[in-house]
Homo-oligomer: A and B are copies of this chain.
Amino acid sequence: MIERLTLIGVGMIGGSLALALRQGGFCGEIVGYDRDIQALQKALESGVIDRYAEDPCAAVSGAEVVVLATPVRAVEAICRTLRDCLAEETVLTDVGSVKGDVVRAVVAGFGRLPQNFVPGHPIAGKERSGIEAASADLFVGRRVILTPVAGTSAQAQRKVRLLWECAGSVVEDMALEHHDEVLAATSHLPHLLAFTLVASLSRLGESDEIFRYAAGGFRDFTRIASSDPIMWRDVCLSNRDAILNALNHFEHDLQGLSEAIAAGDGRRLLELFSNAKRSRDRFCH
């Protein structure tokens, strides 16, 4: 039983976690801290948090678990502030979409890696951000990946696992580097393709016209290009190598497709599309 949980960053993900925990029967106190005071007020008024503090150290005081749910780029500065006030026994976790860089930021902020820090990433999201976009069901049935590192306390890890299970998630462990590679391919790459496609189209002659003729599938296909540009800039900067690697593979495959089209190689095209359709249909029902 966790008696007090502190959220640093009361936005879409942080707010959704608080709502999900309540829905899952969490009865402890939820304290919020955010640099955006209006977000805190909204979270308080709508019952997402029980109270807030205007200073991170006051917010984490007496907390059994602290969840970092700010953008990844804010983690280092926050940890530097928490360095002298976070109790040794408090469990610290995060929700960042990349893990290698978060661990580096935590180490840089604390000057060491706290044993009770458990890197985490819920594989669930939305294009909209901010506390208004929070929803209690965001994590239900979705995976949360924990990427413990050498020295991570097993007890802290157990506590974080229980927390996410209470929010309705399925929790798994994964090696940190592997997480960053897998997510570069399955999440970061698709987002970059969507952003690039929309950018590419809007540069064409009369872009009003171009978008007017974009058919039904296009809307779904580019939905993720409505995601928060700041978050995606941060993801690119903090998972650079894995993303460049995924982009490289993709560009190579796209080049192969171009060549098959240029050569009028119908057999190759059919094979390529059939394999892709088979994989898609097998994995996404």
A residues contacting B by CB (< 8 A) are 123-125, 127, 142-143, 145, 182-183, 185-187, 189-204, 207-230, 232-233, 236-237, 240, 243-244, 247-251, 253-255, 257-258, 260-262, 264, 266, 269-270, 272-277, 279-281, 283-284
Contact of A284 among B186, B207, B219 (CB under 8 A): B219
Contact (Cβ within 8 A) A233 B269: yes
Of chain B, the residue at the smallest CB distance from A273 is B229
The 28 listed contacts between A and B (C-beta, < 8 Å) are A123-B215, A124-B216, A125-B217, A142-B216, A143-B212, A143-B213, A145-B213, A186-B201, A186-B215, A190-B218, A193-B193, A195-B257, A195-B273, A198-B279, A199-B253, A200-B250, A200-B253, A201-B279, A207-B279, A220-B221, A220-B223, A221-B221, A230-B270, A233-B270, A237-B264, A240-B261, A247-B258, A251-B254
Bound CA–CA A274/B202 (angstroms): 12
Least distance between A98 CB and chain B CB atoms (Å):
13
A191: nearest chain-B partner, CB-CB: B217
CB–CB A213/B254 < 8 A: no
Chain B residues with CB under 8 Å of A127's CB are: 217
The reply to whether A197 and B201 form a contact with Cβ atoms under 8 Å apart is no
A32: min CB distance to chain B, Å: 25
**In the bound complex, do residue B264 and residue A240 qualify as a contact, i.e. CB atoms below 8 Å apart?**
yes
Chain B residues positioned under 8 Å from A280 (CB to CB)? 198, 222-223, 225-226
